[in-house]
Homo-oligomer: A and B are copies of this chain.
Amino acid sequence: MTEEAANIPLQWVGPIKIIGPEVEGEIEVPLATYEMPLWPSTNRGASICRKAGGIRTVLLDDRMTRSVLVEAKDVETAYNASQKLHQRKEEIAAAIRETSGHVRFVDMHHQIVGNLLYIRLEMTTGDASGHNMVTKAADHVLSWICTKYPELAYVSISGNYCTDKKVSAVNGILGRGKSVISDILLPRTLVKKYLKTTPEQIVQLNIKKNLIGSIIAGGVRSANAHFANILLGLYLATGQDASNIIEGSQGFVHTEVRGEDLYFSVSLPNIIVGTVGNGKQLDFVKKNLQKMGCTDCESGANARRLAIITCATVLCGELSLLAAQTIPGELMSAHLSIERPIGASQ
């Protein structure tokens, strides 16, 4: 394919113990990264979560999107067309189905700005992350629209209301990719023994750093410390299009002290993962997906399983980092002890 490669160091972390309606078990997870502290840190989170009985993880929604963009001569024409299109959802669903055996229409939303009509097509795409599948389907629907409605003219196959690999609020509100949430109740004794901190300290840090700190930084639909690191590591190790960490990392940590214990949750409202398609044909990717049990489920269930594993892994990494940041000096000394041997150039 190409003679050269970027060989990103990869280690397996876990096992991550997952419980829940769709996936149960202890699963090892590959993370490819240049940031070595990610491995022991995620492992620490995984370890305490196993001791606490496992991470409950639920997949709430699943759809991939592409927003086509057309324009009319004025708002009235654009509006009338939008109304007619919503009455022809079945024809649009049929047109989409023609483009692949794996793609199915789910829903459709639109926005009008002056004479511009943005149509956000939502579909399931089986085990594929679905970028190309929805583009192909959208391309077909767009031709159909421009033929049936000569009052609408092509502007773009993608109007950025999808939205792919860019900061947005729309993906979390209308859904894009998989919506997954993990939570766990951690006994105080475990928190103190293994994380060297208390439920109260983690809850306070989450409020002051992840919630308030993100708000004053001018973030959008984001409240976490480093979801991005874990997503990137797992995406690279499993052949994902890692640019999708941009919107994927727009997720939330919510915690509370319950009695003596720590309730800790991680919500990922829109992550994009797949087990077939670009990147998945590479040998090491195939092997990694297989080892995670993400190759032999029925269509759609492999990608859902991968999303569930991803969310539970993000919880482990986030829990560990937050715990470390509650302790003065801890983060730096952990970094130094891990990186010094190999990353001495700084």
A residues whose Cβ falls under 8 Å from a Cβ of B: 1-2, 4-12, 20-21, 30, 32, 34-36, 56-58, 60, 67, 69, 71, 74-76, 79, 82, 100, 102, 109, 111-116, 118, 128, 132-133, 135-136, 139, 142-143, 146, 154-174, 181-183, 185, 204-205, 207-226, 228-229, 231-232, 236-237, 239-243, 245-246, 249-250, 252, 254-256, 263, 265-267, 269, 276-282, 284-285, 325-326, 328-329, 331-332, 335-336, 339, 342-346
Contact B160 A214 (CB under 8 A): yes
Shortest CB–CB separation between residue A280 and chain B, in angstroms? 6
Q: Which residues of B contact A163 (CB under 8 A)?
A: 213-214, 217, 219
Shortest CB–CB separation between residue A61 and chain B, in angstroms? 10
Which one of A111, A185, A223 has the greatest number of beta carbons of chain B within 10 Å? A111
Look across to chain B and name the residue whose beta carbon is closest to the beta carbon of A335.
B132
Contact B166 A224 (CB under 8 A): yes
Asked whether A166 and B114 contact (CB < 8 A) given A4-B30, A75-B58, A343-B278, the answer is: no
Q: Which residues of B contact A183 (CB under 8 A)?
A: 74-75, 114-115
Contact A216 B79 (CB under 8 A): no
Shortest CB–CB separation between residue A146 and chain B, in angstroms? 8
Interface of A is mostly: mixed
Shortest CB–CB separation between residue A132 and chain B, in angstroms? 6
The complex places the Cα of A67 from the Cα of B213 at a distance, in Å, of 10
The complex places the Cα of A308 from the Cα of B263 at a distance, in Å, of 39
Contact A212 B208 (CB under 8 A): no
From B114, B172, B281, A345 is in contact (CB under 8 Å) with B281
The complex places the Cα of A170 from the Cα of B169 at a distance, in Å, of 8
From B136, B142, B173, A328 is in contact (CB under 8 Å) with B142
Q: Which residues of B contact A266 (CB under 8 A)?
A: 114
**7 pairs of residues in contact across A and B, judged by CB atoms under 8 Å:** A4-B9, A5-B7, A156-B326, A159-B208, A169-B218, A215-B221, A277-B345
From B2, B156, B208, B214, A208 is in contact (CB under 8 Å) with B156
The complex places the Cα of A204 from the Cα of B254 at a distance, in Å, of 12
Shortest CB–CB separation between residue A56 and chain B, in angstroms? 6
The complex places the Cα of A285 from the Cα of B6 at a distance, in Å, of 8
Shortest CB–CB separation between residue A238 and chain B, in angstroms? 9
Which one of A7, A182, A282 has the greatest number of beta carbons of chain B within 10 Å? A7
From B142, B166, B224, A249 is in contact (CB under 8 Å) with B166
Q: Which residues of B contact A21 (CB under 8 A)?
A: 76
Contact A229 B165 (CB under 8 A): yes
From B133, B220, B279, B329, A167 is in contact (CB under 8 Å) with B220
Which one of A165, A213, A279 has the greatest number of beta carbons of chain B within 10 Å? A213
The complex places the Cα of A205 from the Cα of B255 at a distance, in Å, of 14
